[in-house]
Every structure is written in C-alpha cells, then in structure tokens.
Structure 1
Amino acid sequence: MRKTVRRRAVGGFIALLALLLPTAVPAGASTSSGDHVIVLRGAGSAEGIAAGEGTTFYAGELLTGDIFRGDIRDGKAKRFIDAPEGRMAVGMKADTRNDLLFVAGGTSGKAYVYDTDTRKPVKEYDLAPGFINDVTLTRDGAWFTNSAAPELYFLPVSGRGELGKAADVETLEVGGEAGRPLQPGQFGFNGIAAAGDGDVLIVAHTQNQALYTVDPGTGKSKRIKGPDLKFIDGILVKDRTVWAVQNMANQVSRLKLSSDLTSFRVKDVITSKHFNVPTTVARFGDTLAAVNAKFGQQPPPTRYEVVLVPAWD
C-alpha cells in the first residue's frame, strides 16, 4: 500500500514563481538543422505539450489553462479547448485510447481532465497547495508532481478510462535526498515519467539539477548518477533513453540510462536557434516537439510556438 500523508499548506507562491520569471535569458546555440516552428496563434503564454494520436499534439496556455491542438505535418495549431476561468495548464499527457487529456494545474493545486473528443472538462481534482507541475500516465493511473513539496499524487484510471473519485487520490511522500526541504524560491520536483510499465517513476528535480528514481509503492528515492542537469524541466523517457529539457540553457540533453537505472551518460545535446526557454517535449518518431515558454522576457512576448527538432534516437 502506498504511504499517504496529510496535505499541508505551502506558502510563498510568489517565491516559487520567481523561477518562472528570471531576469535574463541566455542565448542558445544552434546545432540542429532542418527544424521549424509551429506558432500557437493567439496564445499569451505557454508551457506544456503532449503527443496525441498520430502526428497530433496538444499544447497548453500556461496562464489561462486553454489548450491548443496542432499537427506536426501541416505545421498549424489553433485554440482547441477554452478552459474555465481561473485554470492554469502546465505539464500534460494524452490518453489516446480513451480520448482524455490530463493537465497539471500549477498554483491552483489541482489536476484537470478533458475529453479530447468533445473538448469538454471531465473532472478536476484538488491535489495539494503548491505548484502542480507535471504528469505521467501508467497502466493504472496518472502521477502528478508538486514543485513546492516532496510529494507525488496518484489518480487511479482504469484501462477503459474510468476516472477515480476525489477520495481515491493518493499522496505519496517521497523520502531520501529528493525529499529534503527546498531552498527559498526554488522548484523541487518538475518533470515526471514512468519506466518499467510504471514500476519505477523517474522525476526531475530542478533545485538539485538531478534525476531520481522513485518507488511508487514506498516513496523511496535514489539519485541517478551523472553530470548535473542545470535548469532541468520536463523529461521524456523511452526504454533507456531520457530527453531532459533544460529550459534556461535552451537545450534538450539526450541521456542513456544504465540497465539498472542507477546512472546515465549524456549522448547528445540538442539545440536550435529557435529555442527560447523550452520547457517540455513530445516525441513523434524521429522528431521532438518542444514548446517555448519564454519566461522572464521584457517586453512580454507577443508570440509563442512549438519547435520541431531531431530526436536523435
């Protein structure tokens, strides 16, 4: 049985959001070729992206919670879901079998689920105060991270897409190095992915510049040994390959995990002249789609986009 803890208040939302609003944005090198850009027309912010069916992708408008839908083949995207007022859209994942989209709700402390067939909200869940940052899907449900607390939240989902009730949501307290207190104004857990059919979770920790494995049954964490991953944000895992987005570094590092998931080495560093604080990626075969968040820019950006680059798998 998973260990649960009492939800606790987490203050200092402004301090947490300071990471999203840095004062300087370093320029990224351009080492990839043939990449191009898909504009999220009308978006006033951006952060999350998820692969849908075929070459379809979903991207979130961070500050309104609206969802865009696009296609990497035709290079177009448009507003798809008008979220109810007061929502945010951070990390997201699509369950294409059941036409569901799971969205992390940022400072709302909530998780949202949408029907991608009807475009309607299905359910929302109160997880915890803080910053609900990202989500991954396993064979039995959805796991969400909180950047303000060393906790993960599990929402059970059946194979037929039947969602658990609010009372079914479990809170997993993470122990070990990944569970230590955060420094003021820092983000802890960020991106999350599943390995071994969900038997192991891999979580990015921004403050520690590291990846950790987390046992979904006990909450025990272990650092995956390797070079520091500065500005680590969203992650994508397939077999023993990890694509780690390093937002303010304007790059995606492709990592190779050891067979026992205890260490990694950097295989490639993917950059693009079009990267402008990328935060999350979705994969379509040999192509990665990365969304630009453009945090901290003055004057405020008037355009947000998805950048397509080689996955180098």
Structure 2
Amino acid sequence: MSRSLSRRRLLATGTALGAGAVLGPQAAPARAAGGWPTTIPLPDGFRPEGIAIGPGPYAYFGSLADASVYRADLATGRGRLITGGLGTGRQAVGLKTDARGRLFVAGGPGTLRVIDTRDGTVLATYPAGDGQNFVNDVILTPEAAYFTDSFRAQLYVLPLGRHGELPGPDGLRTLPLTGEWVQGPEFSANGIERTPDGTALLVVNAYAGALFRVDQRTGNARKVTHSGPPLVNGDGLLLLDRDLYVVQQAQNAVDVLRLNRPGTFGRAVARITDPRFRIPTTAAACGDRIYLPNARFDVDPPLPTTPYTAVAVDRI
C-alpha cells in the first residue's frame, strides 16, 4: 500500500459483501482474440488486495472490506465468493495457495488464517500481534509460511510439519528483523518472496524504498543492490525463475528485476505498464500471463457500488 495515500483510513473502511454474491450477466469479462479473458470483473465494493493462483487455473482474491474470498475461473472470468464476509474491520490481504488446496491468508490487524479452497472452510486461525499491527503478505517454503508485518520489524513464522501439517493454535512464532532493516513510522514491510536459490527471503520495504534479503533463520536483513528506480511504492512480489516482479502500485507499474541466484543483486530489465492498471497491488502467474487485482486506493471513500477488476498482462 502506498505511503502517498491515507492507508490506515482506507484499510479501516468497511463495505460488507453478502455470502454467495456472484457477478451478474452484465459484467462480461474482456477477452483477447480467441483466448482467456484479459480483464476479470470482481464484485462491486469488494476492495481486492491479494491474489493467489492454483491449483489449476483458478484465482483467489481477498477483500479488504470484510475478509471474504472470491474465486475466479481464469478460463471464463466468472466466479463466486467461497467465504462470506467476517465483518467490518476484518480483512484478507496477501494470499498464497499450496498443492494441498489450502489458502494462507494474511489477515491484516492481528490475525492470519488458513482456508480450504474447495469450500471456504476455515481450517485454522492464528492470533498475530495486538491488532495495532498489520499482517500484510505471505510466502510459503517447504518448512513454513512467512508473513510480513507492515507496522512491526518482524515476520510471523507458521511452521509446517513434514507432510505440511499445520501447527496448533500456539504454533505461530515471531522472527525479529535485524541487520540493515529500516522500520518506518508507517507501512514498511510489504511483499515477500524467496530468493531464486531458495536459501533466503526477499522483503520489499515501502518506507525505505528498497528490497531486503532476509535470513529466514535469524531475521538478519541486508539491502539488495539493484539498478532501476527505487521501490518506494513496492507492494506485492512475484518471482518467476530469476525475474522478480515488483508491483509499484501507486505508480501503476510493475518493475522487473533479474536477480542473481542468491538474491543479493538485481538488474532492472523491464517496466510493465497498462492503461487498465488502477493501482494494482499484487501479482500471480498462470502460464505466460501475470494477473493483478486493481485495488483502486485512489477511490476515497470506497463504496459498495465501486467496481473492481483484475487484469492480465504478458510476462516478459
């Protein structure tokens, strides 16, 4: 989320959606010639922020309005809510799915959840912080799920068992960020990914305008040297091979850095823009496309009638 916008107020504004809401026939997806839709309509008033894709060609979107989750078929652009809203002040921010059909949800103020993607059943809920924090984004490794906290210099670590088992209700732990990490007075840690060689984590710091490589055992953070513009609006991260897609949401752009394998250096190789971008926040891939939800943080206040979309662009 951009420091240039009143994020605390936008994130706190609630617009509840009814369970089972679906798109009407007037909301037809925009299609490329002979292909899957390139623009996917989301429910009015939904306020999307995170996206996760898979298993299969299905995208999941989380709502800042009430923590509901919407599932869209990327082949048709149609979808439905798989979870109803949890109420004003509850949120679904960053998302990741695993091969077991589970959706890991960064829950904003003080919580995170794991949901069954088949029917929306909440498999587990974990308290994280005191409600004055903001659990923002998540990445999965074979050993754990790591969540960023935008207001605290720490990550949340949810250990996974040998076969992916979730821990008990007291299994969540915190990992302080140290070393060169810079914690600002507002949003700092945002998107999170793994390094290309899988030996460390990458966290974008919107306050510092920089990317950091974080030791996932100790929390020691080192700034990643890279060419190209600073990442002052850095939000979601997406790693494909050695290409790191950094969503610069308030700039309506995605900057692409080609990293070395340890993730200590990056070279700017592309900037993706599109006239359909309306402050995109995060990105996920399916095939040769990148999908991004338009958060529309420039709409203040967001209304139940505010339209929202996700858009697809070609990966480089």
Fold shared by both chains (TM-score > 0.5): yes
CA shift at 1:154, angstroms? Answer: 0.6
Match of 1:71 among 70, 73, 83: 73
CA shift at 1:197, angstroms? Answer: 6.5
The answer as to whether partners of 2:10 and 2:300 remain within 8 angstroms in 1 is no
Moved more, 189-198 or 248-257: 189-198
Match of 1:160 among 163, 173, 190: 163
Q: Any idea what the Cα deviations from partners look like across 1:21-66, whole Å, max 9, x if unmatched?
A: 9xxxxxxxxxxx9883100124431101001112111011112100
Gaps (5+ residues) in structure 2? 13-31
Alignment correspondent of 1:149: 152
The answer as to whether partners of 1:94 and 1:102 remain within 8 angstroms in 2 is yes
- Calculate the TM-score normalised by the size of structure 1: 0.84
Moved more, 121-130 or 276-285: 121-130
* Equivalent position amino acid for 2:188 in 1: G
Alignment correspondent of 1:221: 221
Match of 2:8 among 9, 12, 17: 17
Q: Which has the higher contact order (CA 8 A, sep 6+)?
A: 1
Alignment correspondent of 2:310: 306
* Equivalent position amino acid for 2:310 in 1: V
Structure 1 runs (4+) greater than 6 angstroms displaced: none
Gaps (5+ residues) in structure 1? 1-13, 22-32
Distance 2:216 2:119 in 1: 32
Matches within 5 A, 1:76-155: 76-85=78-87, 86-95=89-98, 97-107=99-109, 109-129=110-130, 130-155=133-158
Distance 1:240 1:251 in 2: 19
Counterparts in 2 of 1:79 and 1:306: CA distance versus 1, 3 Å: same
| 2:253 is the alignment partner of 1:251 | yes
Counterparts in 2 of 1:125 and 1:298: CA distance versus 1, 3 Å: closer
The answer as to whether partners of 1:43 and 1:61 remain within 8 angstroms in 2 is no
CA shift at 1:182, angstroms? Answer: 1.2
Q: Any idea what the Cα deviations from partners look like across 1:165-214, whole Å, max 9, x if unmatched?
A: 13221210011221x3313xx21100001235743000011011111100
Q: CA RMSD in A?
A: 2.2
* Equivalent position amino acid for 1:104 in 2: A
- Calculate the TM-score normalised by the size of structure 2: 0.83
The answer as to whether partners of 2:195 and 2:263 remain within 8 angstroms in 1 is no
* Equivalent position amino acid for 1:100 in 2: R
The answer as to whether partners of 1:195 and 1:239 remain within 8 angstroms in 2 is no
> Identity over the aligned pairs, expressed in percent?
36
Counterparts in 2 of 1:90 and 1:20: CA distance versus 1, 3 Å: same
* Equivalent position amino acid for 2:307 in 1: R
Alignment correspondent of 1:206: 206
SS at match of 2:225: coil
CA shift at 1:220, angstroms? Answer: 0.7
CA shift at 1:82, angstroms? Answer: 1.3
* Equivalent position amino acid for 1:119 in 2: G
Distance 1:92 1:234 in 2: 10
Match of 2:271 among 245, 269, 272: 269
Counterparts in 2 of 1:290 and 1:15: CA distance versus 1, 3 Å: closer
The answer as to whether partners of 1:49 and 1:59 remain within 8 angstroms in 2 is yes
Alignment correspondent of 1:57: 59
SS at match of 1:102: strand
